[in-house]
Amino acid sequence: MSARFGGLRVLLEVGLALALGLSLGAVLMAVWGYDPWKAYQALLQGAFGDRYGIANTLSRATPLILTGLTFAVGVRAGLFNIGAQGQMLAGALVAVVIGGLLDLPPGVHVLMAVLGAMLAGALWSLPAALLKLARGVHEVISTIMLNWIAFWLTSYVVLTHLSQGRRSLQADPTARFPLVMAGSDLSYALLLSLLFAGLVYWVLWHHVAGYELRAAGLSPEAARYGGVRPHRSLVWAFVWGGLAAGGAGAVEVLGRFPFALTNDLSNLGTLGFDGIAVALVGRNHPLGILLSAVFFGALAAGSTMMGFRAGVPIDMIQVVQGIIILAIAVPEMGRLLRARLLRARVPASLPSPAEQPAPTQAQTQAQPPEETEG
C-alpha cells in the first residue's frame, strides 16, 4: 500500500512540475511575442503527429535510455557517476572499428560490435572506481577528467587513423542495426535499450547483487554491518554504468546515419550528459527512465516543427526546453542532495559482524527456539 501511495506521490510531483515548466515556458514565449499555444501544438505535432514523428521520437530516446541508466545505477549505489559521455565515446570508437574493419557475417557482426562497445565502456569506467577505492578520489572529479581524455583520444584516433573526409570510416551494412521503419532513423537498437533497462530493473530489485548495491548506496556502514561489501557494490555500479554508456555509443553509430563518427564527434553530441537529466526526471528508476527518455526524445523531435510552424527561434526553443526540464528535475536533485547530507552525518561507528562480541551462554539459553515451517 505504501509503495502505491509513493508511486502516486511521484506522479503527482512530476505532473505539477511539468505544468509549472510548461507555464513558465509559455510566459517566456508570450513576453517575447510568440504564441505559446501554437508553439506547443507544433511541438506535439512534430513528436507524435504521425508515425514518422513517433519513430523520430523513439529514435532520439534510444541512446538516452542507456546513458540515463549509467547515472541512475550510480545514484542507487551512492555515487554521482557523470562519466557516461567518456564511456559512450569509448564504446562508439570500438563499435566503429569493429563494424568498419572486421569482416564478419550478418548478425554476428553487429553483435560483436555491440559487445565490444559495451566492454569498452565498462573498462573506461574502472579507473574512476579504482581511484575512489585506492585513493579516495571523488567520482565527479575522476569521471570529468576521463570524459576529456576519452574525447581527445577518440578525436586523435578518428583524425589520424580512421578519417575519410569529414567523418571516420563507416560501419559495414552487416554491422548496422536494421531499421524498424523505412525512411526513418528508428532501428532495432531500441530493443537493446529496452532489454538492458529491463535487465537493470531485474538486477536492482530482484537479485541479491542489486539489493546489496542499493543497500550500500543508502548507508555503507549499515550495509557493511549486514554483511554487504560496499567496495564490491561500488565497482559493480561503475561496470553496469559503463556497459550502458558503451552500448549507447554503439546504438548511435550503428543505428543512425552516417553510421560513423564525424571528425568533430558532433553526431554523438552531449548524449552522456543528457542522460543525467533523463535519470533525474525518471527518478533514477529504470522504468521511469524509459518514460523520461521518450519525453526528451519528443522535445528533440518536436523542436524542428516548433520553429517551422510557430516561428520560434532555436535559441528560444532551447531556453523553453531547459526551463521545462529544470522544473521536473529539481525535486529529484533536491532529494538526492538531502539524502547525501543525511548519510554524511551518520557516524561510522557500527561494528561489522566479525567485530561483534560472541553471545554469552546465558544469552544463548534465553533465546527462544526457532520455529520450523509446517
User: In terms of pLDDT, which residue wins out, 324 or 72?
Assistant: 72
- 262 phi-psi bin (left φ>0, alpha ψ -120 to 50, beta other): beta
Confidence (pLDDT) at 166: 87
Is the pLDDT at 370 greater than 50? The verdict is: no
In this prediction, residue 278 has a pLDDT band, given cuts at 50, 70 and 90, of very high
Confidence (pLDDT) at 346: 55
Is the pLDDT at 341 greater than 50? The verdict is: yes
Confidence (pLDDT) at 356: 46
Confidence (pLDDT) at 275: 94
Confidence (pLDDT) at 5: 57
Is the pLDDT at 20 greater than 60? The verdict is: yes
Confidence (pLDDT) at 321: 85
In this prediction, residue 345 has a pLDDT band, given cuts at 50, 70 and 90, of low
Confidence (pLDDT) at 189: 95
What is the distance between the alpha carbons of residues 75 and 285, in angstroms, rounded to a whole number?
10
Is the pLDDT at 87 greater than 50? The verdict is: yes
Measured at the CA of 41, the angle between CA 39 and CA 45, to 5 degrees, comes to 115
Residue 168's SS3 state is strand
Percent of the chain surpassing pLDDT 90: 55
Residue 75's SS3 state is helix
Is 240 domain-assigned? yes
Our count of domains for the chain comes to: 1
Cis peptide, bond prior to residue 230, ω within 30 of zero: no
The label of the residue with cell 511521484 reads 10
Query: How much helix, strand and coil, in percent to the nearest 5, is found in the chain?
Result: 75, 0, 25
Is 97 domain-assigned? yes
| Average pLDDT of the residues in 132-137 | 92
Confidence (pLDDT) at 369: 44
Is the pLDDT at 88 greater than 90? The verdict is: yes
Q: Is 88 within 8 Å of 248 (Cβ atoms)?
A: yes
User: In terms of pLDDT, which residue wins out, 362 or 242?
Assistant: 242
Confidence (pLDDT) at 6: 59
- DSSP 8-class letter at 370: P
Contacts of 318 (CB under 8 A, 6+ apart): 303
In this prediction, residue 2 has a pLDDT band, given cuts at 50, 70 and 90, of low
Is 354 domain-assigned? no
DSSP string, 248-309: HHHHHHHHSTTSS-BTT-TTTTTHHHHHHHHHHHTTT-HHHHHHHHHHHHHHHHHHHHHHHH
Is the pLDDT at 361 greater than 80? The verdict is: no
Owning domain of residue 119: 10-344
Is 358 domain-assigned? no
| Rg from Cα positions in the chain | 23
Q: Is 304 within 8 Å of 315 (Cβ atoms)?
A: no
User: In terms of pLDDT, which residue wins out, 90 or 231?
Assistant: 90
What is the distance between the alpha carbons of residues 124 and 227, in angstroms, rounded to a whole number?
29
Confidence (pLDDT) at 244: 97
Confidence (pLDDT) at 219: 80
In this prediction, residue 150 has a pLDDT band, given cuts at 50, 70 and 90, of very high
* 228: CATH: 1.10.3470
Is the pLDDT at 8 greater than 80? The verdict is: no
User: In terms of pLDDT, which residue wins out, 355 or 130?
Assistant: 130
Q: Write out the three cell numbers for 101.
A: 574493419
Is the pLDDT at 145 greater than 80? The verdict is: yes
Average pLDDT over the chain, rounded to whole? Answer: 86
Candidate from 120-129, 208-217, 329-338 with smallest mean pLDDT: 329-338
In this prediction, residue 115 has a pLDDT band, given cuts at 50, 70 and 90, of very high
Is 365 domain-assigned? no
Is the pLDDT at 364 greater than 60? The verdict is: no
Is 100 domain-assigned? yes
362, β-bridge pairs: none
Confidence (pLDDT) at 287: 92
- 269 phi-psi bin (left φ>0, alpha ψ -120 to 50, beta other): left
Q: Is 275 within 8 Å of 84 (Cβ atoms)?
A: yes
Q: Per-residue pLDDT tens for 168-177?
A: 899 999 999 9
Confidence (pLDDT) at 315: 83
Is 362 domain-assigned? no
What is the distance between the alpha carbons of residues 359 and 225, in angstroms, rounded to a whole number?
17
Is 299 domain-assigned? yes
